[in-house]
Structure 1
Amino acid sequence: MAKLSAYEREREANIARNRALLEQLELKQAVDGLGFQKQPSQKAKAKPVQSTKKVKKEADAPRRQSARLRGAAGIDPNETPLKKRKREAEEQERLAKEAEERIEAQERERLTKKPRHDDLNLIALTDEDTAEVASLSKELQNITQTPQPRRSANAEAFVFEEDAKGHAQVEELRKKLQGLNVVARAKVTENRIYSAAYHPEPTKDLIFFGDKHGQLGIWDARAPPDEVDDEGESDVETKENGKYWRLQVHWPATSMSSISSVKLDPIDSHTVYTSAYDCTIRALSFTSGVSREIFTNDETLICSMDLVPSGHEMWISDAAGGVTHLDLRQDKSKGIWYQLSDQKIGCVSVNPSRPDFLLTASNSRELRIWDTRKLRSIATDLSLNESIAEFDSEVVTKYRDSKEGAGCLRGEWRHDKSVSRSIVSTSYDDAIRIWDIHSPAFESSKAFPSARPFCRISHNCQTGKWLTILRAQWNPNPDVYPHFTIANMNHSLDIISCKGERIARLSDPSKITAVQAVTCSHPSIIERAATGNASGRCVLWAPKDV
């Protein structure tokens, strides 16, 4: 047998170390990706879609050595089976430790070189080849041909004095929505889906998904399929639908960079904003194909964000119980911070029809509505320096209790456990609550009347550690009767009206066996919804004839 060169010996040693580490960590998918022998698995009831992204495979595992070579390497060819097992176990442990240390060192070196706060183009955001980057660039450019501004709803459009008219609207929606089916599936991101946004373009189903490791998946769910790959994939049950691209917009690619919210520019929908646990907010422009940082706070975790309909202002909530008001026409250092709670504010939401009203939901179990005109006047009314960029809870509370601050806090309601979404709210006390605040209450400067929610729906919200918390999402279409979507722990999607009536429960056990924790709806087409689960797999719900 020919003697192995130094390069070949090092190469085989590297393969052995990587394999030992991956098997020790029970990363079966990674072991499969390296080309090692697969273990037989049980047949699942519903086959998950298989990613079309190619995985580079390493060469085969090291070949067996002869007794002569093993003796030259210091191995006794006559050793007993017991000693051999002990020696092999010690060797595997040593190789695994060395591989782990090497991988950690390589990861630290890579992260130190990553331009985390820089402007990044599509090539820097993706590991795809030139053709894939060109395909994504063309897709984004096509979107910019026609502006799709977010339309504001008329607050009184679906206010009926007679209940019969409301029931008729619900029945009309039920006819359109209860027949939705799974028409497309794909593994859009590599990790758990945390957030989603549906683009308003009416000729496409273009959905943006943010995942646990800072990756933004862009899915054109009904795009024509590419040519059949080299392996000749023909299984309809596991084949992916549409096209998707993965952009690493936030770094490092770990759970420290989970994308907590995704929002589209309300003016023309040509920019997508993402907030992440890396304490930054970035904006990806479809026109230039460049992602730039518009806000950063390295000291406090960013939880959520929302934009006013004009598109020039943004409100940002954080883990310190504060919200930041940011004017996007100014430098990112000009943001003003208000501490509105003594605990984490997990959600901030701007009233789309009355943008001067802001809603916050926090771990203090309180849901609050604020008049932002009053918040922005704190410095003036209290004769403080107008250049101050931070107002802590003491200043905010003092202002609320003053004559000038009357009406700053317009409403406040406590939940049994922490609140995660409003003004339909979900809570860990396994309930969905809905409030109905009449228009005259907004016109007055007085605080809203203290009132309980008019509707309480039992709903299992115990997602635990491995699932994204369930958030109710209002349908953004202003032309239909108000309703929202929310995931169900029974692997289905619930659609509920603003009066608490269940319009539809969508499920397909033959294709879905996981909780569709994150949901969103098309802003202009009624019969569209999208969901994502903890493995990064996403589903498009639409009529069968689509």
Structure 2
Amino acid sequence: MPKTTYELEREANIARNRALIEQLQLKSASASITEKAKVPAKPKQQQKPKIKPVQPIKKEKRAVQEAPRRASARLRGSTSAVDPDETPAQKRKREREDEDRRRKEEEERLAAEERAREAKRPRHHELDLETLAEQEESEPLSGLSSTFQSLLLARHPRRRGERDAFVFESRKKEDAEVAALRARVQNLKIVARAKVTQDRVYSAAYHPEPTKDLIFFGDKHGQLGLWDARAPAEEVGEEDDVDLDQKEAGKYWRLQVHWPATAQSSISCIKFDPIDAHSVYTSAYDSSVRSLSFTSGISREVFAMEKVLLTSMDLPPASHEMWLSDAEGWITHLDLREHKSKFRTYQVSDQKVGCVSVNPTNPTFILTASNNRSLKVWDVRKLQKIPAHDGVFELDRGGVDEFKASKGGAATLRAEWKHDKSVTSAYWDPRGRSIVSTSYDDALRIWDLRPSLMATDVPFPNFKPVTRIRHNCQTGKWLTMLKAQWSPNPDVYPHFTIGDLDHSLDIFGCKGEFLAKLSDKDKVSATQAVTCSHPSVVERVASGNGSGRCVLWAPADLVE
């Protein structure tokens, strides 16, 4: 059938419109290309290299044996084939065998569950190195045993300074001493890095051996990391995508000293034996104190309480005594030569005591720092006059307050200073003369006490800080509290280190003199919350952060 005039005209219009659309699209595309050619291309911005964390050594993971899972009798079925023609006697025999098998499997399952529960309970018995390291993938224990043996070649007693050391009659001499120390510490660089512990670093201590850089770090889950920072590292393998300065340095070992591995076992403090440094003490939130002997490689419990979070400890030089503080407001005195059940406790605060410090040159005076905002100086000779009840070395909560109010206890509390907020730490310097405190009111305070004040039997007159330094201490929930730590080296001008929230490490003198701000934005991208210094080498400082990564600050020419 021939097309009508209308249809022919309609098809012609469609063809013209299609041609017009195609022509317009070509022109638009051409114009777009022309415009793009006129506009110069924007140069690509070079991305700043991101700070890479130190890469841990890759090691093979150990196989974990799971406890047998419980299954119903219906799913397990019977192991004996059922004979349709079996006699009643055969059936009874088969059922007895199945019952015996099920009973045996149930006993094995219950035993495995009990072993799993036992593994999660606190450990109060002695532990060897193999047990302490059985869950970890660090260096072989033979290297740790060799390191321990090298520490036994010499005694390293805790040194203390003279009470009048670095007290100058001339301001010029004092300024020269400060300038000399500043020149030694202000150019320290990062010479080693490693992920020493698996979790957040809570505490640290530098071993006094002068030929090594052996630092001990305690983490959030009861793990003690031992880092030989400048030991020659073994070849890990081909890792072409990782720069040399991003690899771990030295060797480290991880020991699960406190158990279970949870936040209830956080290591709050680390101290070496003050007589020879041949063992290390650790206090933890699991209410226990343990000692790891370098001689035997055995960790033993030296003290334990029931559900009391231990926050700090200190040991006087050349003694077998120990002082502990806890979250209930008590301080505890131990004689390490006696059985661990023998101790004396004193309630010195109605809130948590976060720190206790013994005066190294006059151990009869101790410091306490509490959440009730107070820093207190106690006379131990007075505290020890408080009688025990029925021969039990534990006092009621009103014992200290009642004794302070009595005639003979007037000078038990020698001094007190109220901060604006909680006091997180307070420590004596190696001379037993200066005090530095850290508080959540964002200030560091320094006291200077003349030795003549301690020779009296009356409260200290005019006890107030001589210096106040502004310092941000708002660490919050996810960072370890900042604590100003004195250098234990008595041979140099007294100074202390403290982490800064700008990822640096600050060093101050005993009168608040600013000495150095150590930082390296290319290698450190986290707050160095925990710090410690070598007891005999000035140019050595170590620090750790919230992920268990630790760094060693030393002269740059120390790197080979």
TM-score, with length taken from structure 1: 0.80
Partner of 2:420: 416
Residue 447 of structure 2, aligned match among 420, 435, 442: 435
Aligned residues: 455
Partner of 1:466: 478
Q: Distance in 2 between matches of 1:230 and 1:338?
A: 58
Conserved? CA contact 1:514–1:533, under 8 Å: yes
Question: How far did 1:108 drift?
Answer: 8.8
Instruction: Go from structure 1 to structure 2 and tell me whether the alpha carbon gap of 1:130 and 1:208 turns closer, same or farther (over 3 Å shift).
Output: closer
Partner of 1:330: 338
Q: Distance in 2 between matches of 1:475 and 1:485?
A: 7
Residue 342 of structure 1, aligned match among 350, 353, 368: 350
Letter in 1 for 2:130: I
Task: Structure 2: state its 5+ residue gaps.
Answer: 1-46, 64-111, 427-434
Residue 503 of structure 1, aligned match among 515, 536, 556: 515
Conserved? CA contact 2:138–2:253, under 8 Å: no
Q: Distance in 2 between matches of 1:475 and 1:524?
A: 9
Question: How far did 1:51 drift?
Answer: 1.1
Conserved? CA contact 1:199–1:206, under 8 Å: yes
Instruction: Describe the superposition over 1:237-285 as per-residue Cα deviations: whole angstroms up to 9, x where unpaired.
Output: 3210000000000011011110000111111111110001111110000
Residue 488 of structure 2, aligned match among 470, 473, 476: 476
Task: Give the match's secondary structure for 2:183.
Answer: helix
1:394 aligns with 2:398: yes
Instruction: Go from structure 1 to structure 2 and tell me whether the alpha carbon gap of 1:238 and 1:107 turns closer, same or farther (over 3 Å shift).
Output: farther
Partner of 2:119: 113
Q: Distance in 1 between matches of 2:371 and 2:229?
A: 36
Instruction: Describe the superposition over 1:495-537 as per-residue Cα deviations: whole angstroms up to 9, x where unpaired.
Output: 0000001100000001001000000000000000000000000
Letter in 1 for 2:180: E
Partner of 1:151: 159
Flag as ranges the 4+ runs of structure 1 deviating above 4 A: 106-109, 128-131, 230-234
Q: Distance in 2 between matches of 1:53 and 1:319?
A: 39
Q: Distance in 2 between matches of 1:497 and 1:506?
A: 15
Conserved? CA contact 2:322–2:335, under 8 Å: yes
Report which stretch shifted further, 185-194 or 125-134: 125-134
Conserved? CA contact 1:111–1:252, under 8 Å: no
Question: How far did 1:220 drift?
Answer: 0.2
Question: How far did 1:542 drift?
Answer: 0.3
1:363-378 map, 5 Å: 363-378=371-386
Q: Distance in 1 between matches of 2:488 and 2:117?
A: 38
Q: Distance in 2 between matches of 1:317 and 1:113?
A: 28
Conserved? CA contact 2:528–2:544, under 8 Å: yes
Report which stretch shifted further, 328-337 or 144-153: 144-153
Question: How far did 1:232 drift?
Answer: 6.6
Question: How far did 1:113 drift?
Answer: 3.0
Letter in 1 for 2:119: K
Question: How far did 1:56 drift?
Answer: 3.1
Q: Distance in 2 between matches of 1:182 and 1:474?
A: 20
Conserved? CA contact 2:415–2:463, under 8 Å: no
Residue 176 of structure 1, aligned match among 164, 184, 187: 184
1:513 aligns with 2:520: no
Partner of 2:56: 51
Partner of 2:249: 241
Q: Distance in 1 between matches of 2:138 and 2:486?
A: 38
Task: Structure 1: state its 5+ residue gaps.
Answer: 1-41, 59-105
1:52-201 map, 5 Å: 52-56=57-61, 110-113=116-119, 116-127=123-134, 132-201=140-209
Letter in 2 for 1:110: A
Letter in 2 for 1:519: T
Task: Give the match's secondary structure for 1:468.
Answer: coil
Instruction: Go from structure 1 to structure 2 and tell me whether the alpha carbon gap of 1:108 and 1:474 turns closer, same or farther (over 3 Å shift).
Output: farther
Conserved? CA contact 1:342–1:393, under 8 Å: no
Question: How far did 1:225 drift?
Answer: 1.5
Question: How far did 1:395 drift?
Answer: 1.5
1:406 aligns with 2:406: no
Conserved? CA contact 2:413–2:459, under 8 Å: yes
Q: Distance in 2 between matches of 1:107 and 1:430?
A: 49
1:224 aligns with 2:236: no
Report which stretch shifted further, 448-457 or 224-233: 224-233
Partner of 1:290: 298
Question: How far did 1:335 drift?
Answer: 0.7
1:267 aligns with 2:275: yes
Task: Give the match's secondary structure for 1:332.
Answer: coil
Instruction: Go from structure 1 to structure 2 and tell me whether the alpha carbon gap of 1:266 and 1:456 turns closer, same or farther (over 3 Å shift).
Output: same
Question: How far did 1:53 drift?
Answer: 4.5
1:539 aligns with 2:544: no
Instruction: Describe the superposition over 1:121-174 as per-residue Cα deviations: whole angstroms up to 9, x where unpaired.
Output: 000000357971111111111111111111111010111122222211110001
Question: How far did 1:230 drift?
Answer: 6.0
Instruction: Go from structure 1 to structure 2 and tell me whether the alpha carbon gap of 1:139 and 1:107 turns closer, same or farther (over 3 Å shift).
Output: farther
Task: Give the match's secondary structure for 2:322.
Answer: strand
Question: How far did 1:48 drift?
Answer: 0.7
Q: Could you tell me the percent identity over the aligned residues?
A: 60
Q: Distance in 2 between matches of 1:195 and 1:254?
A: 16
Task: Give the match's secondary structure for 1:323.
Answer: strand
Q: Distance in 1 between matches of 2:139 and 2:354?
A: 39
Partner of 2:503: 491
Larger radius of gyration: 2
Letter in 2 for 1:498: C
Conserved? CA contact 1:155–1:353, under 8 Å: yes
Instruction: Go from structure 1 to structure 2 and tell me whether the alpha carbon gap of 1:374 and 1:465 turns closer, same or farther (over 3 Å shift).
Output: same
Task: Give the match's secondary structure for 1:358.
Answer: strand
Letter in 2 for 1:392: D
Partner of 2:365: 357
Q: Distance in 1 between matches of 2:486 and 2:492?
A: 11
Instruction: Describe the superposition over 1:327-377 as per-residue Cα deviations: whole angstroms up to 9, x where unpaired.
Output: 000000001111111111000000111111110000110000011111111
Conserved? CA contact 2:504–2:519, under 8 Å: yes
Q: Distance in 2 between matches of 1:365 and 1:393?
A: 20
Q: Distance in 2 between matches of 1:370 and 1:388?
A: 22
Conserved? CA contact 1:47–1:237, under 8 Å: no
Question: How far did 1:540 drift?
Answer: 0.2
Conserved? CA contact 1:52–1:240, under 8 Å: yes
